[in-house]
Structure 1
Amino acid sequence: MSGRKPKVHEEEHENHERWAVSYADMMTVLVGLFIVMYAMSQVDQTKFEALAGSLAAGFGNASPTVLTGASGIMKDAGAVPASIKPAGETNPIAPAAELTEDAQNLVDARAELARLEAMRDQIEANLVAAGVGQQVSYGIDSRGLIVGLIANDFFFETGSAVLKPAAQTVLNATGPAISSIPDEISVEGHADAIPISGRYPTNWELSADRATQVLRHLVEVDGIAGSRISAVSFGDARPLTSTDGSDSLAINRRVDLVIRSPLAEPVRALLPIVIAANEG
């Protein structure tokens, strides 16, 4: 027994490569995450169009056809009219609800233009019947209908805000055409660039007084509701022409009746486009 050698326990070697297992697990998880994210980023166009169609039908648009030459939304997926495709847009699909809204805005703008033109024609007919048909100018922009009263000594004396009898005739012929409508009216006073002297310190006060006198006549004589009319002065800050001469100065001395359209701004913004299309 004394000659037997004692057992020697060898020390276990430490595994210095265990980190590789954890690293491999982490890389596997990251790869899986990227795969999931990539899969989520891919839109199934067919399913998207089917969803858009069902939503449009639910909101009352039974046939939301938005594709050129297509009889339904599921035909020729991905094609849209060039006029509604934004520049640089890579996704060829536009939501059906957005297209429907744009089309409705265009329809509303055309109807509003027809209404404003009818109002203009009625005012012009009243003025012609009163013998003052050549004393007013007309315009339509994104604000609405503009009836321009050019102050070339026909409406006011130079440097005065007192309405002349001829001006009262024009307002009395205009009032009945706009007294029954719900639109708000802005009376805008303008002046030429010649410095004023006398009663008014500047052209601001002169044009403000002229606009106020027109407003008072429309309210007190012609029955326009005071709750929907206002007066504003622009002095000589917004001339119609910058050329010299008596005629140019007379054009800039004016009072504008702006009959404001009650429609939403996206619809009103289309009015100049519709006008240009009609004239073209």
Structure 2
Amino acid sequence: MSRRRRSRKVPEEFHVDERWAVSYMDMITVLFCLFVVLYAMSTVDKNRFEKLRNSLATGFGTTISQKVDTASGTVVPPSMASKDKEGFADLDLAVKDVRKFSALAEQMNKRLAVEGLQKDVQFHIDQRGLTVRLVGSQTFFSPDSTVLTPRAYRIMHAITPVIVGTRLQVSVEGHAANLITSYPSVWELSAERATKVARYMVEQGGLPGARVGATGYGSSRPASRGTTPADYRQNRRVDIVVLSDQPESVRALIPDALKAQAGRT
């Protein structure tokens, strides 16, 4: 009986130290990708470079932050910023409103300066809009009278065209000192003076009647609470208020917009 040869299966050799090849292949693959990207960006493109930089930084666990240039634009305090960005939009509109009213005041002041009348008018911007304050009753009216003086007509002639061009609503508000006069009452005196100014703006200045209203406040809203002749002159006044057409949420931010504007100047 012939002896059968038994075929014996020789096991494959296994070396533990060959596992480095897997990591080596991964590294080669990553290098290949890197070179492909670098080749694709051989023409410098700032936007693509920034995207690549941010992507690589994120991949290595680094958060990219960018600096904000506060030299221009509007800086919104944290209390005004909301998730839906309404705070940013409202303050931006308030800043635009302030710039618009500042430009109007400058236009009027230039026209008054030509006539040498700029000292008779004061300008003030607040939540309501731009207040053009006609100071001193004797500059605009005779004592205890509602008749406009020739100087008053010159002032009104200078400022009315600028106001007409705004297409905004206008409130003419009369004020009086808390003194006994020959007029029946300070309420009637202040109201009639405001009416005379409004009538001039409509009838002589071309301001549409639907855009203007006249109100008399008597002595209830004094500009000065003193008792000197200078204080009384400040309280005998007519205010022409060019009203803001922005919603209340925007108008409430006008004081902050004024501070931001003052900080830049």
Instruction: Give TM-score scaled by structure 2 length.
Output: 0.69
**Matched residue, 2:238:** 255
**Matched residue, 2:114:** 129
1:20-59 matches, within 5 Å, as: none
Whether 1:277 and 2:260 are equivalent positions in the alignment is yes
Deviation by residue 1:45-77 (Cα, 9 ceiling, x = unmatched) = xxxxxxxxxxxxxxxxxxxxxxxx9769xxxxx
**Matched residue, 1:155:** 140
Q: Secondary structure at the match of 1:96?
A: coil
Structure 2 distance, partners of 1:85, 1:182, is 33
Structure 1 distance, partners of 2:125, 2:197, is 20
Q: Secondary structure at the match of 1:182?
A: coil
Report deviation, 1:151: 2.6
Classify 1:85/1:210 alpha carbon distance in 2 versus 1 (closer, same or farther; 3 Å).
Answer: closer
Report deviation, 1:277: 3.0
Q: Which structure 1 residue ranges, 5 or more long, are not aligned?
A: 1-68, 73-81, 87-93
Q: Secondary structure at the match of 1:128?
A: helix
Instruction: Give TM-score scaled by structure 1 length.
Output: 0.65
**Matched residue, 2:131:** 146
Report deviation, 1:127: 0.7
Whether 1:202 and 2:185 are equivalent positions in the alignment is yes
Q: Which amino acid aligns with 1:169?
A: R
Classify 1:114/1:213 alpha carbon distance in 2 versus 1 (closer, same or farther; 3 Å).
Answer: same
Whether 1:183 and 2:168 are equivalent positions in the alignment is yes
Report deviation, 1:180: 1.8
**Matched residue, 2:25:** none
Q: Which amino acid aligns with 2:78?
A: I
Deviation by residue 1:168-195 (Cα, 9 ceiling, x = unmatched) = 0000000111112121000000000102
Structure 2 distance, partners of 1:70, 1:202, is 70
Classify 1:112/1:85 alpha carbon distance in 2 versus 1 (closer, same or farther; 3 Å).
Answer: closer
Classify 1:130/1:102 alpha carbon distance in 2 versus 1 (closer, same or farther; 3 Å).
Answer: same
1:101-112 matches, within 5 Å, as: 101-112=86-97
**Matched residue, 2:149:** 164
Q: Which amino acid aligns with 2:254?
A: L
Report deviation, 1:152: 3.7
Structure 1 distance, partners of 2:199, 2:252, is 31
Classify 1:274/1:83 alpha carbon distance in 2 versus 1 (closer, same or farther; 3 Å).
Answer: closer
RMSD: 2.2
Greater relative CO, 1 or 2 (CA 8 Å, sep 6+): 2
Classify 1:230/1:119 alpha carbon distance in 2 versus 1 (closer, same or farther; 3 Å).
Answer: same
Structure 1 distance, partners of 2:101, 2:64, is 36
Give identity over the alignment, percent: 36
**Matched residue, 1:96:** 83
Deviation by residue 1:127-169 (Cα, 9 ceiling, x = unmatched) = 1112211110010000000000013411011100100000000
**Matched residue, 1:228:** 211
Query: How many residue pairs align between the two structures?
Result: 193
**Matched residue, 2:250:** 267
Classify 1:260/1:216 alpha carbon distance in 2 versus 1 (closer, same or farther; 3 Å).
Answer: same
**Matched residue, 1:84:** 78
Q: Secondary structure at the match of 2:123?
A: strand
Q: Secondary structure at the match of 1:232?
A: strand
Q: Which amino acid aligns with 1:188?
A: E
Report deviation, 1:85: 5.3
Deviation by residue 1:222-256 (Cα, 9 ceiling, x = unmatched) = 10010000000100000011111111100000000
**Matching residue within 192, 198, 203 for 1:215:** 198
Q: Which structure 2 residue ranges, 5 or more long, are not aligned?
A: 1-62, 67-75
Classify 1:95/1:243 alpha carbon distance in 2 versus 1 (closer, same or farther; 3 Å).
Answer: closer
Structure 1 distance, partners of 2:79, 2:236, is 45
